[in-house]
Amino acid sequence: MIEFGYRLTKAEVKTGGQAVSRSIYSGGARIGWIAQQASVSVGIGVLPFLAGYFIITAAGATPEANAREWLLLSLVIGGILVVLIQRNERRRLAVTTKVVDDGAWRMAIDSQGLSMTNGRSKAFNAWADCDDLVEAKRMIVLRVGAVGYAIPDRLLAQVGDVADLRRQIVSWYAASRT
C-alpha cells in the first residue's frame, strides 16, 4: 500500500485538470473542443468592438467619424472582459484547490484501487472504475468520469522511490484492464 498526506499546489491542480481534459477530449473530440474554444476566443475578441460600435451609435455619433473614440472604447471594454475572465478563472482554481487544501486529506493506493479520507469522509474508487491513467508532467492522473485524482511525484517521493511507485500504480491500473 502507498499512503501519504494529500495536499496539492495550485499548479498541480491546473496540470491535473489539463490532463483530465486531454483524456476526455481525445481524437476527434479534441479537435471539436479546440474549435469550440477558438470560436469562443474569436467571439470574445469581436465583442468589445461590437459593444463599442453600439455605444457610439447610441450616443448619436458614427464610428467612422469617431474611429479613435470607438477604438479606445473597444479597448477599455476588452480590458474589462480580460480582467473579469481572469478573475473568474482564479476563483474557480481557488475553489478547486480549497477542496484539498485543508491539510487533513490522505490518499491510499493499493492493488484494489485508490481511496481518499479526511477524518470525516471517505471515497474509494476501484481500479476497474478508473476510466484512464494519464502520465502528465511530474504526476500521474487517474480519471474517474470527469474527476481527476492528481498524484504528484513530490508526494510519492515522501514514501519511496518515485519511479518504482509510478511503475506500481501503472501496473495496478493495467492489471484492471485485462
Conformation bin of residue 138: beta by default, left when phi > 0, alpha when psi is -120 to 50: left
Rounded CA gap, 150 and 138, in Å? 10
Shared-domain flag, residues 17 and 66 = no
Cα–Cα distance measured from residue 112 to residue 95, given in angstroms and rounded to the nearest whole number: 30
72, 99, 126 - which closes a domain? 99
Task: Tell me, yes or no, whether 95 and 106 share the same domain.
Answer: no
Q: Are strands 2-5 and 106-110 parallel, antiparallel or unpaired?
A: antiparallel
- Whether 119 and 162 share a structural domain: yes
Q: CB within 8 A of 152, min separation 6: which ones?
A: 8, 9, 12, 138, 139
Asked if 106 and 171 sit in the same domain, the reply is yes
Is 68 found in the same domain as 20? no
Contact 153, 11 (CB under 8 A): no
pLDDT of residue 142: 94
Whether residue 106 contacts residue 116, with contact meaning beta carbons closer than 8 Å, is answered with yes
Q: Which of 130, 160, 161, 162 is nearest to 148 (CA)?
A: 130
- Could you give the number of structural domains in the chain? 2
pLDDT of 83: 86
108 and 169, same domain (yes or no): yes
In residues, how long is the chain?
178
3-state helix, strand, coil in the chain (%, to 5): 55, 20, 20
User: Rounded to an integer, what distance in angstroms lies between the CA atom of residue 57 and that of residue 70?
Assistant: 10
Low-confidence ranges of the chain (pLDDT < 70): 92-103
Of 73, 99, 125, which residue sits at a domain end?
A: 99
pLDDT of residue 110: 96
pLDDT averaged over the chain? 86
The verdict on 17 and 41 lying in the same domain is no
pLDDT the model gives residue 2: 94
Q: What is the CATH number of the domain that holds 142?
A: 2.30.29
Please check whether residue 109 is in contact with residue 2, taking contact to mean a CB–CB distance below 8 angstroms.
yes
How much is the pLDDT for 157?
96
Q: Are 50 and 62 in a shared domain? A: yes
Q: What pLDDT does 95 receive?
A: 57
Q: What pLDDT, on the 0 to 100 scale, is given for residue 102?
A: 60
CB atoms inside a 10 Å sphere around CB 14: 16
**The model's pTM:** 0.65
Residues 51 and 71 in one domain: yes
One domain, residues 109 and 95: no
Map grid coordinates 477604438 to a residue: 71
- Of 99, 124, 144, the one marking the end of a domain is 99
Domain identity same for 91 and 121 = no
Same structural domain, 44 and 9: no
- Domain extent at residue 42: 28-99
